[in-house]
Structure 1
């Protein structure tokens, strides 16, 4: 079953950001701050947020107005703002949930175990009654795939500015029924150690109740927060950091940002921003990790960097048969994805957008009487010129941008100009990754991967050329 594809409208100015180097140039961290957006963000603000926050990889906090209508904020909290333990236990108590012990460390992480949700709630209430005793363990429910476990309970609505979500679009298309949508619940004092998010993805986190303290460091600062053995500090407030022999580069740190997230607010965490989070009160939050055309290059670079580490670790076995395949197996085990699956990721994202654009072209062509005359393709200008200057022809008969936000690959509705812009931006972003893939030696060593990447590039280019021809044929006077 094809995954759903949310497509809001983008201004055509985003089409000028048409290569990885231009994206990198937008990510400046010389004057970093965390803005608070004090209003509800409607769909017509999507493109502005996309360009100012997603493309620029800048954090921000969205107002509680954006979560006020969520079912979870009504059902999961009491009038005093505390967790509604009775409702949670009665409705979801039979679930099995992953729980971390915040007072223990194992391999630079907090050890986890599975518990019944009902047992976790019993612990939590007892912990509160003990006044959060230092003598008791501090348990934190983390990474609960709540939406997967309770698909018929509509706990929230993903804010429109976070709906270009390639990661969950891809995982929803897979048979393993996994996703990157989570619920977190923890008592006052529970916390998450210093880290950057999976695949170096974006994330957003909405407080259903409670307050969190976030500590952020911009990309690059993590290099100064590693010890002499190359290991990232576990607790960013650890006294160990003052040991210059153990952390020789700590004195070079320039930027540390702290912010308090209030109940109902949503924090947007950009790619590669390392962070540590503390629950200042009993807190429940809903989190997503996601990727899209703004940060897929960061993810791909992260995967390549991890492969280099794998190759270094088993370099003494380089001459053995199947060494490249073995490296990919280890990469998948440590990072969660390998080159072949990442290529499949790009194929799924492309297929959905190619189908949508092709369906739109068929619908638009049907509006014209007879068959348009074939033009000399040698005289057809590049696609980007047409999209920037003459895209109005493709949106013939389409009404306002707000009329359609969620498109499916098999959908039969026309697209708005902004939705066309978004699909083109996405496909161009995929092409950038594919071109880099076929220049990567390790990728080309894998069975048939180079051919698949080249075939997908040709398919995208064929579609782009078809669109350019359609514009010329249906608007010969321009």
Structure 2
């Protein structure tokens, strides 16, 4: 599982589920690493669906959807649903008559009055006209300021992204009043659902986000943090997704990811209001708001994707090695052949520590942090046994990553990480039949 080969996806087989058991999710999507949609049935009781929406009315300006001609062009080759959900049917594609183009199911509009309850929360705001490397330029400001701009018809290129709403609410009942993750996604090793987290820890420890912005705002092509999965629920409006299986993502002549793939052939998915999309590990994707949108997103991983997450961290480690290779001769010259009491060569030990520190800054965690995450989720699983793989399967997935790590120099050179990985190995031995 650690090296995903490019895979073909037949758009005619993209499923949309009214009901989905964990076992079907595990065997049809989690392990094979394939996308799907959950119908609006899964979100219809969420507080956010009741309180953050107001009925559709013909709008112009900021709250309008994309131009209908653009909409028809963008949606001409979206993936059909097979089988279509009884709640979603087929996507609400444009219906064209002699005089006009319209949609059978118009989206809701955002209820800005309800969102003012969170107005003092400080949120990241991207300006989608100002590119900054592989993303958009961002600043931070109170949500209230952004809502005021939108209510006045301004700020049409501003997109609130990666807003840590759940952490700001303090988790627990306050968060459940907004939404509850679908049961199949509760085996979450990154940020267990509604664990109490303070806003001060949100930027580094929380992977549950809210997004909101006008039609036309978008997220450029990317893959998710740590090689994780993600799920995203539309509360208001519709989104268009461009999905690329691992190894098929489009790159330019310099081997850099394309920023905007609107003219590239892809698996295109129209996500309706109320629907939830599952994005598999390592799948690059771009997302466009067709209407004014509000969505809720979780990045997560669990034992089946651990080999992929390990591979992503190993790739980041290799990039760190290449990035500071010129430092190594200086370390060797300074420390020479000195041997530490534990048998490690001093220069190797320092080099490994320097790399691990850079890895933590670059990727968000180093090897000790990675194995600590694995250990903690093994010891205290985030969900019951009916919503996670069987113990022997968990052991298999973890051992796949563990054996690769034990074959690496870091196993020998980073004693703190080795100690935690050894705890993982001991625990796994108890899971095996």
The within-5 A match list for 1:272-421 is 272-319=282-329, 320=331, 321=347, 322-353=350-381, 406-407=383-384, 418=386
CA contact (8 A) 1:443 1:450 kept: yes
User: Match of 1:359?
Assistant: none
Q: What is the CA–CA distance in structure 2 between the aligned matches of 1:406 and 1:108, rounded to whole Å? A: 35
Q: What is the CA–CA distance in structure 1 between the aligned matches of 2:387 and 2:133, rounded to whole Å? A: 45
Q: Spell out structure 1 runs of 4+ moving beyond 6 A.
A: none
The within-5 A match list for 1:28-427 is 29-33=7-11, 35=13, 37-41=15-19, 45-80=21-56, 81-89=108-116, 91-127=117-153, 138-150=157-169, 151=171, 152-153=174-175, 154-169=177-192, 176=201, 178-222=205-249, 225-237=250-262, 256-319=266-329, 320=331, 321=347, 322-353=350-381, 406-407=383-384, 418=386, 422-427=390-395
CA contact (8 A) 1:78 1:84 kept: yes
Q: Structure 1 residues 155, 453: CA separation in 2 closer, same or farther (over 3 Å shift)?
A: same
Q: What is the CA–CA distance in structure 1 between the aligned matches of 2:207 and 2:32, rounded to whole Å? A: 23
SS class of match (1:204)? strand
Structure 1 residue 424, shift from structure 2 partner:
3.4
Q: 1:439 aligns with which of 403, 407, 420?
A: 407
Q: Deviation digits for residues 359-404 of structure 1, max 9, x if unmatched?
A: xxxxxxxxxxxxxxxxxxxxxxxxxxxxxxxxxxxxxxxxxxxxxx
Q: What is the CA–CA distance in structure 2 between the aligned matches of 1:441 and 1:32, rounded to whole Å? A: 41
Structure 1 residue 325, shift from structure 2 partner:
1.2
Gaps of 5+ in 1: 1-19, 131-135, 239-252, 354-404, 408-414, 469-478
SS class of match (1:110)? strand
SS class of match (1:141)? strand
CA RMSD of aligned residues (A): 2.6
Larger Rg, first or second structure (1 or 2): 1
CA contact (8 A) 1:101 1:112 kept: yes
Q: What is the CA–CA distance in structure 1 between the aligned matches of 2:393 and 2:134, rounded to whole Å? A: 38
Structure 1 residue 155, shift from structure 2 partner:
0.9
Q: Which has the higher helix share?
A: 1
SS class of match (2:139)? strand
SS class of match (1:165)? coil
CA contact (8 A) 1:101 1:137 kept: no
Q: Structure 1 residues 77, 173: CA separation in 2 closer, same or farther (over 3 Å shift)?
A: closer
CA contact (8 A) 1:104 1:110 kept: yes
Q: Which has the higher strand share?
A: 2
**How many positions carry a matched residue from both structures?**
356
CA contact (8 A) 2:6 2:248 kept: no
* TM-score, normalised relative to structure 2: 0.76
* TM-score, normalised relative to structure 1: 0.69
Gaps of 5+ in 2: 57-107, 332-346
CA contact (8 A) 1:97 1:144 kept: yes
